[in-house]
Amino acid sequence: MSEKILSMHSGKDARAGEIVIADLDFMIGQDGTSGVAIDVFNKMEGKKVFDPSKIAIIIDHSSPSPNEGVSAIHKKIRDFSKTQGINLFDIGCGVCHQIAPETGFVGPGNLVIGADSHTCTYGAINVFSTGIGSTDLAAGMISGKLWFKLPETIKFEVSGKWPKGVYSKDLILKIIGDIGADGATYMAAEFDGPAIEALSVDARFTISNMAIEMGAKAGLMKADKKTIDWTKKHSKKVFSPVESDKDAKFAKTVHIDVSGLSPQIAKPHTVDNVSPIEAVEGLEIQQGFIGTCTNGRLEDLEIAASVLKGKKISRNCRLIVAPASKNIFLEAMKNGIVQTIMDAGGVFVTPGCGPCVGTHNGVPSDGEKVLSTANRNFKGRMGNNKAEIYLGSPATVAASVIEGKITDPRKYI
Amino acid sequence: MLLKGSARKTKVVDDINTDYIISGRYKFKIQDPYELAKHVMEDLDPEFYSKIKKGDFIVAGRNFGCGSSREQAPMAIKYAGISAVIAKSFARIFYRNCFNLGLPLIECDTDNINDGDELELDLDAGKLKNKTKDFEVAVNPFPQTMQTLLNDGGLVEHFKKHGGFKL
């Protein structure tokens, strides 16, 4: 799939290992990276962006601003967006990786870059999308192009029937635990098989989102009927889906059966430090967090609400929820999800990255343990290098905050 | 190009992520790269910045620079005075970012390099010499694209020179 998309966009019949300069369909930046990108744009002597309709900047990482340093960056982004006429999503719109597909900017067969490592998320709807830095974004904004080295592909063929209480988050944690944090470095990952087809598009985003946590450049899935329906609902653009050839060569194929899978937990301080929940059950936590570009979608909030319905959060524990977008937040209000979670004792913060990046909205105290639905548990990630972060599914977080300790969600489902 | 300096190696050598290189606490607050550089690798070693002499090398293990796409990570390294990073392997976004900033990355076995070893890196001859331990290892040449970026002094200078991509 990678070879097809990058060939289509570079006018070459390119193969893994080759370097091409390719035309970009869309690019995004966020408030942690766009300030630098704008500085570089000016240093490169950029005057006008190549096409303002193909660029979006989303203020999501530290939003609304918690201090004057961030405010200065936000102002720089707002001024630049206005002058250049590019799409700006200001505070409260949501996380960039929900906004880009939800607004219909990106779709099957597209080539997309983002100055954020989790740009690989849109692979779930058949987009070759990859994270790059601020200088690459500046070069993209000026020229509409970027250089790519065509990656080899590692394929994950996923079969079996999903057990109750086990979700796409558990699968991707299991995969990363098995293959390691650099198991797919420089490669594209492809996820396929009946167990992937059985998932909703929301659940698929969770898997592609975390492809970077094993070093992958992209996390691609084919476009099936669910993808096409989802894309049509969100976009008026015409897309050209791609599929791997029957005889496509993969660097490696990994077979996984989800039938016997338990809920999984990534322990501090690396994402590949993964155990089945049985190994960590009972560990006391002081904060739960549901949200982010990994697990802040409507389905995630629905699952959490179904676990929390009629229950109360432990008095030794807090629950912070950040919907991935304003639309999701509004939908969750209409469906009673917000009411259910708040009745249980959960707290909602502005749609966006929430406390994931460690700048605001719930920085843990020294020695505290956080169970989060995010994609990273690096030391210091949530703003305190003396706290510990565990990762799990929304169901696992919801069940755990009820008991104030890591809890198997299967008994609440 | 001949680069000389000491090895700066932390106790943790593998999977050093961009949060370790520069914490999110600082990347949002500080826009001046020299100020940012003062916090480089702080969560792994609070004294790291103060030990760096201009021209020194960061030496690490596998998967250096994994994690976020923040360019503040290579920026903090470069403005701390580091001339190159030497590791067994690098994460790909970090790899791109470094060459875009004109900061060379060397992939080789680093088990025999200790913190404080005196190193000499000859980029033209493709050799890394450990003067303290008296051995030499061959270093693979950079792919042409990376070499062009380094020769031009990074992607900004490349764009200023050519008005776009000419790789």
ipTM of the complex: 0.93
* Residue A381 near residue A353 (C-beta atoms within 8 A): no
Segment among A201-205, A309-313, A325-329, B20-24 with least mean pLDDT: B20-24
DSSP letter at B10 equals -
Residues of B numbered 44-83 whose beta carbons fall under 8 angstroms of chain A's beta carbons: which are they?
62-63, 66-72, 74-75
DSSP letter at A116 equals S
Q: CB burial class (10 A; 0-12, 13-18, 19+) of residue A165?
A: buried
Tens of pLDDT, residues B100-149? 999 999 999 999 999 999 999 999 899 999 999 999 999 988 989 999 99
Helices (H), A144-284: 168-179, 194-197, 201-209, 225-234
**Least Cα separation, residue B137 to chain A (angstroms):** 24
Whether residue A411 is predicted with pLDDT greater than 90 in this model: the reply is yes
Give yes or no for A215 touching B (CB within 8 A).
yes
pLDDT mean over A34-53 = 97
Query: How many A-B residue pairs are in contact by the CB < 8 A criterion?
Result: 143
Whether residue B24 is predicted with pLDDT greater than 90 in this model: the reply is no
Segment among A54-58, A125-129, A362-366, B26-30 with least mean pLDDT: B26-30
Would you state the pLDDT for residue A372? Answer: 98
Would you state the pLDDT for residue A336? Answer: 98
- How high is the mean pLDDT of chain B? 95
DSSP letter at A314 equals -
- A358 and B154 within 8 Å at the Cβ level: the answer is no
Percent of chain B clearing pLDDT 70 (strictly above): 100
What tokens appear for A130 in the block?
């990859």
The pTM assigned to this predicted structure is 0.96
Which 3 state secondary structure label does DSSP give A320?
strand
With cut-offs at 50, 70 and 90, classify the pLDDT of residue A313: very high
- A69 and B27 within 8 Å at the Cβ level: the answer is no
